[in-house]
Structure 1
Amino acid sequence: MHIKFTHAIFRVIAFLFAVALLYSPFVWSQPLTLSTFASGLNGPIGITADTNGNLWVAEVGTGNNDGQISILTPNGNKHPFLVGLPSVYVEETGEVVGPWHVYLLPGNTVAMVIGGQAGTDFGASVVYASSFGFLPGDAPLTTANITYVDHIGDYIYGIGYTDSNPYAAEWDNDGNMYVADAGANAIVRVDANTGDYSIFATFPDFPNPVPVGPPFVNVVPTSILAAPDGSGFYVSSLTGFPFLPGAASIFHVDWDGTVTTLYAGLTTITSMAINPINGNLMVTQLGEFSLDIFNFLPNSSQLLEIEPDGTVTPVVGLLNSLTGVAFVGPDIYLSSIFMGEVYSLAEQLPLPVTLSSFTGKALQNGNLIQWTTASETNCAYFTLQFAPDAQHFTTIATLNGAGTVSVSKNYSFTHLAPVSGNNYYRLIQTDFNGQTHVLKTINIHRNQTETNLHLTVQNNMLYASLAGFSSDQPVIARIYDLNGRLLQQQTIYAENTGTLALDLPAGLHKGLYLLQLNAANTMLNGKFIW
């Protein structure tokens, strides 16, 4: 991140700074396993998870305007979403500035916080694009697909600040945005209704207690998170050079912008997330800076867990340059800017169900899904989910489990609304205590029909012109959204011309939808835009 060194360094003096952290021994219920989830990334910073278990990553790039937002699917494969974002090498500090964080907002809106130069098209700003209809593997979007820009840096310089580096953002329930600016060391509020900018909170410098570096040290905000109790926000800080150990804090900012220290005695905090299991705060430490080597010590980056009383527990350490943390269910994911990697951290829990088989086959009336368990422990129920694209799953069935048994149990379900082509099915098991486990995903491929189907939308009506259907055959017509959610089903008859006329569902939003027709053991599928 962009931090100015305001004074020349003439000498390096080793300084021992007492770290006032209350560390306590901690034992996880099961061993934690750290593994490399994805590698070969260009400076991954912020990461966030979507509802399908994908990770969205902001890659700062190499300084050649090659910043981008990428999607990491659950198997760790990388798929660029938007490329060509600003990525600038700052000679003064020897670092690269570009996309810092990515956020997923309602209405398929993707918000990206970008550093860089104010006064340019996308530098020092928050930019927006739509992910509607985008699937991992599609051709990536470009800056031509950016729909709106909030020029945070222009505002900051316009009111007299000498530096701006929008780094992270958060939104309240009314849609107002709060941007942590790591150059101005302030929170900028963007009004959702008027678009007006204002300074919401500031973080004053503090005296430098060592003879190395400037006389005052910056309090550099690095992440902002809505407080779980609705009282405002949590804001983490890195602190500027000389990156003193124990000098960073987590602040609480209430709704009138008042800043109070929530947790002190931390070191170079770069990101935060709420643990969904116990509600504790998880934070990443960039590392410990050594004045002896004038750099961060190798293997000094770590993930910490902070309890409400301030107790700090190291969760995993001996890492380098951690910059992001996110949860997918109970599993933790960490990004490392300089290693170019994303790590996964998971408890190795024995699965409560031993799955012997999970299979499916295409029938004339649908897809038959079957699975067999060899044993079950505290198994409450199974959830079967469907997706036409292996990404946007929706639940189609819930079947009760057998509790605790050591004998084989068989389960089956017929999906009556499959699609031509790929049909992905995901099996999830839930314990009596509410813990869920994704067991397996399979694909059933249905051959495309030879019958031609042409769709036309006129005056809230959908007209389907088709061949091969006689006028006396009833047709079951179903309309789905891209998530596979059934919006409407009706039984109709083809006209003598081979045309079906369907009323579109009330309140249908603009977008892409799927039509499925079933008659006489024949299935047709088509897409239409409303």
Structure 2
Amino acid sequence: MPSTGSLPLSATVASANESNKNNDTTPAFATTQANQAPVAQNVWNTLQSARGNTSPTGLAISALTATDSDGTINGTGYVVVALPSSTQGTLYYNSLAVIAGQKVTADGLRFIPTAGYVGDATFTYTATDNSGAVSNTALYTIPVAQDQSTTYSIYNTNKGGANPYTTNDVLAQTIDPNTVQYNSSNLVYDATTGVLLSGAANGLATSGTNAVLASGSTLPDGVSLNAATGTIYVSAANLLPRSPSDKPYTVNVTTTDLNGGTNTVPVTFTIGANATPLPVVLTAFSAQAVRNRDALLTWTTAAETNNHHFDIERSFDGNTFAKIGQLAGHGTTAAATTYALTDAGVAAQAAGPVYYRLRQVDADGNATFSPVRSLRFAQLPTAQLSLFPNPVAASTVLDLSQLPAATTVQAQLLEATGRAVRSWHLAGAQRPTLDLTQLASGTYLLVLTGTQPDGAPLHQTLRITKE
């Protein structure tokens, strides 16, 4: 019999007692082939390796398969008969959990294993052809394996200082043991640079979001995480933190492998000492006293890179610094440059050493500090001013002979209530007479203020008794 189409048949009908053979008949007719039911195939999921049991999202599985010798299976011609048990996981179609008896297409199913489940997850299905014939019931098997955590390896540990970092340097690379693919040398990355080798794959996809920083984790400036591959790398070498010694950083990274398995692991990497070259090469910085009153600060740079400005900072205790000035930098230059700033009259504020430092700020806002310089102003003896006679009957002599002639002195005579009753403008190196004839008897205060030639303040108060 042919497998398809119709089969022509004919037969001769005659009566055994008929003498006239013309009465015999030979009719012809054709049979119709009966519809053959489709055959559903048992399927073992091969779209990927065994599903990790930590997968939080549904990943596609291999298509359902059926054949039909005399028809077609169109659209939603498949029916899920029995679902995986709840201990195994959940089958999804169009983002909704599948129910028993639901019609589906061949390649629209996804599966999420139950957390912690290890073994084979199974469900059954049938196929229906375009004539309505239903297939046998086929078994679909999804292997689910224990998910193994990703691991990270550290690279470029010799960078920093004379061997500066460059943008795109790899700091840490991940391998997911569930889905990793090694090359012919049984390697995944270059041992020195951390670059992915040809023929290898780390077990994560190369697109989409497969790696994220866990909550509370922050990478240092100039370092980024590749969300697709899980690589931690230098994204901007000029922004790396600069430290006099190697500095370790630890972040927590959550990865998702090709099976949908997910886990969070700590990653510790190190930024080497002096990770980036100084934007300014400072060859000299000094602070010196001028006229025992001012501080002259001078410094010289041999070269500058993206130097925006200098902040000049001062401290009277060597610990707490405050900005007292700012000078613009020269951007980028290979020529030597000298700068100077005068801190005028600072001696009057200083009771001991005065400390200075420079805060160099580059165009990106990053700052570095210079060494600290200090100076000390000479402490001049305090001039002893006096009156004679005291008590006073009519006038008294104010002795300013210990003050230099260039000193200017303002003198105010205050009564007990604080009201000024007399005032004089005087000069040093003299003995002026103060006339108090018209004043009532009592006690007065003579307040002497001024500025000495070296900038030091003058402030003394003498008591006068008027008879």
TM-score (norm 1): 0.29
Q: Report the structure number with the largest CA radius of gyration.
A: 2
Bigger fraction of residues in strand? 1
TM-score (structure 2 length as normaliser): 0.32
